[in-house]
Structure 1
Amino acid sequence: MKKLFSFGDKSSLPVTSSVRDGFGLLRREKRTVARSSREGYTIRDKDLRNIHRAACLGDVEKVHHLAVVKKNSINSRDKMHRTALHLACATGHPDVVSFLADRNCQLNLYDQEARTPLMKAVQCQEESCVTILLEHGADPNCMDYNGNTALHYAAAGQNVSIVEKLLSYDVDIEGRNKEDLTPILVAVAGNKQQIVQFLLERGANIHAIDIYKRTALMLAVTYECTDIVKLLLQKGINIFLEAEWGWTAEEYATINGFNV
């Protein structure tokens, strides 16, 4: 492949700075943007009510007993502001999720990190739970504290099928979080090549820029995503745009020692 970036004198370039990633965390440029796509909850028994314990265990009969017979509110919160639905999604119990959704529980309540059950199901890659929630009317465009939607979480994961499912329910493919990262920029920085390619096929804007005016190509060379760099170049991304501090993608490549 033709060498598209030439490497000049590095001494005049600023050192790599720290920036906040798409999930509101301070990261060095060389580190991955997204946290683990399988990140569940820390669950301590003392934080839970009975219905939350039953949801975590996938005990549908117990959840039914507490919700119906004992009139225990299916929308009650534990000490971490999680509902039984949050916990069932995070622990992967679609039978419990289905029961709670059928009982008209509130689908879009936030936990203490402003995540809905749908966000948690996506983050934990629990596709069955995602499907049930969407079919019952969960809102895929809700945002967490950092402005991320369920699609941002899906873009940080590994499951193209979840991304496709969210898009079929009219989630905003160009939704921006507080760092102005769209889902495709999150996927690029997380080196999720299949998801990047799928989002491009579905019409995602290849020329999107973040709060620092960094393009997908700049992020790809920063995080050493070789295959994504090739994909973006093949798709005709503009290599001459400049970030907030005047760097082009070529200069990002230079300071990161990246060779195309």
Structure 2
Amino acid sequence: MDGHRVSYNGQMDYNLDNMEPKHGKMLPCQEERFDSGLDSLKEDELSQDFEELRLSKIEDPAHEYEPWRTAVTEDGDTLLHLAIIHEATDHALQMIKLSHNHPFLNVQNHQRQTALHLAVITEQPQLVERLLKAGCDPHLSDDSGNTALHIACKKGSLACFSVITQNCQHHLTSILSFPNYSGQNCLHLASINGYVSLVESLVQLGADINAQEQCSGRTSLHLAVDLQNPTLVHCLLDLGADVNCFNYGGFTPYHLTYGRQNEEIRCQLYQRTAQELRELPESESEESDMEEDSSSEEEVSF
């Protein structure tokens, strides 16, 4: 990518080439990348671009189609996205203030991230609260199916989690049960990452402690056993997790302790699991699997 251009209304381009990271910080990449490929941008350069885009009537919210609202990079980032990414808080707050209940707040970049997603990723709870109060939609998901609350649970961001749950009480039930594209809801993500306090908060807020993730049917208790996390197992049991719940393979959480070393987890689950569910289920597909393997080997040889 030779550079990134911000354009609006076909009038001019702002070339953002050769810009260095703010404060010398490198932006995350791969799964944690949140800048849609924008290499870097100094805060003072963002300030200059923003000031040039303001025009004389920016202070009047009645003007719906100001250039600063329609300016986007080739990666789909608006000036609000950029201001949040690079922690230009004053500019972000000003744009939010002038865009109360405006569709601009919910624009998604090419990774389908809204300003709210980016505010959570960059750990800016003040902006998270302002965005929600200004009308940013907490239901919108990114290209992995994650809402802003999913991201807070994945990152273990207590501050952003608190702000979102306090400001979305009317929508909380639907957001808590919403699965991402991997079939995992917020409780699953908090469990996978071992955030016990978030797990407790989610259950207290009404999250279904026995909800099954859609790929394999594991509950949070299954996940805790898989992770060999005795603290999380104990927490989930205290919160009322069902020890006799099966995943899609027909295994209870206790079944998952077989072949694993943590005796504390095994003992906790053994005492609570129904006696008839303590033995591993016989594999009905074992014989057919052997036949398939045999036929596959024959095909390869042939």
TM-score (norm 1): 0.74
Match of 1:135 in 2: 133
Residue 223 of structure 2 is aligned to residue 181 of structure 1: no
| Cα distance in 1 between the residues matched to 2:86 and 2:228 | 33
Kept after mapping to 2: 8 A contact 1:114/1:145: yes
Match of 2:15 in 1: none
Match of 1:194 in 2: 197
Amino acid across the alignment from 1:155: C
| Cα distance in 1 between the residues matched to 2:257 and 2:45 | 49
Report the secondary structure of 1:146's partner residue: coil
More helix by share: 2
Alignment of 1:5-16 (within 5 A): none
Match of 1:85 in 2: 80
Residue 44 of structure 2 is aligned to residue 43 of structure 1: no
Gaps of 5+ in 1: 1-34, 46-52
Residue 54 of structure 2 is aligned to residue 67 of structure 1: yes
1:195 to partner: Cα distance: 1.0
Gaps of 5+ in 2: 1-30, 59-65, 266-302
Match of 1:112 in 2: 110
Greater shift after overlay, 245-254 or 235-244?
245-254
| Cα distance in 1 between the residues matched to 2:80 and 2:201 | 30
Residue 247 (structure 1) aligned to one of 248, 251, 258: 251
Residue 148 of structure 2 is aligned to residue 150 of structure 1: yes
Distance 1:225 1:92, change over 3 A: farther
Residue 100 (structure 1) aligned to one of 95, 98, 120: 95
Greater shift after overlay, 116-125 or 90-99?
90-99
Residue 227 of structure 2 is aligned to residue 223 of structure 1: yes
- Runs of 4+ in structure 1 off by over 3 angstroms are 56-62, 69-73, 255-259
Root-mean-square deviation (CA, aligned residues, Å) is: 2.4
1:113 to partner: Cα distance: 1.0
Distance 1:91 1:256, change over 3 A: farther
1:40 to partner: Cα distance: 4.1
Report the secondary structure of 2:198's partner residue: helix
| Cα distance in 2 between the residues matched to 1:161 and 1:128 | 9
Report the secondary structure of 1:43's partner residue: coil
Distance 1:230 1:153, change over 3 A: same
Which whole-Å deviations, capped at 9, do the CAs of 1:137-187 have from their partners, x for residues lacking one?
111111122322111011112322311211223242222222331111110
| Corresponding pairs, count | 216
Amino acid across the alignment from 2:236: L
Match of 2:167 in 1: 169
Match of 2:120 in 1: 122
Greater shift after overlay, 146-155 or 175-184?
175-184
Which whole-Å deviations, capped at 9, do the CAs of 1:227-250 have from their partners, x for residues lacking one?
211100111211121111222212
TM-score (norm 2): 0.65
Residue 208 (structure 2) aligned to one of 196, 205, 208: 205
Task: Point out the structure with max Rg over C-alpha.
Answer: 2
Kept after mapping to 1: 8 A contact 2:125/2:163: no
Distance 1:57 1:223, change over 3 A: farther
Kept after mapping to 2: 8 A contact 1:121/1:129: yes
Distance 1:258 1:87, change over 3 A: farther
Distance 1:72 1:184, change over 3 A: same
Match of 1:3 in 2: none
Kept after mapping to 1: 8 A contact 2:80/2:95: yes
Which whole-Å deviations, capped at 9, do the CAs of 1:101-131 have from their partners, x for residues lacking one?
1232601111111111101111221212212
Distance 1:73 1:203, change over 3 A: same
Distance 1:103 1:207, change over 3 A: same
| Cα distance in 2 between the residues matched to 1:189 and 1:167 | 20
Kept after mapping to 2: 8 A contact 1:94/1:132: no
Kept after mapping to 2: 8 A contact 1:213/1:243: yes
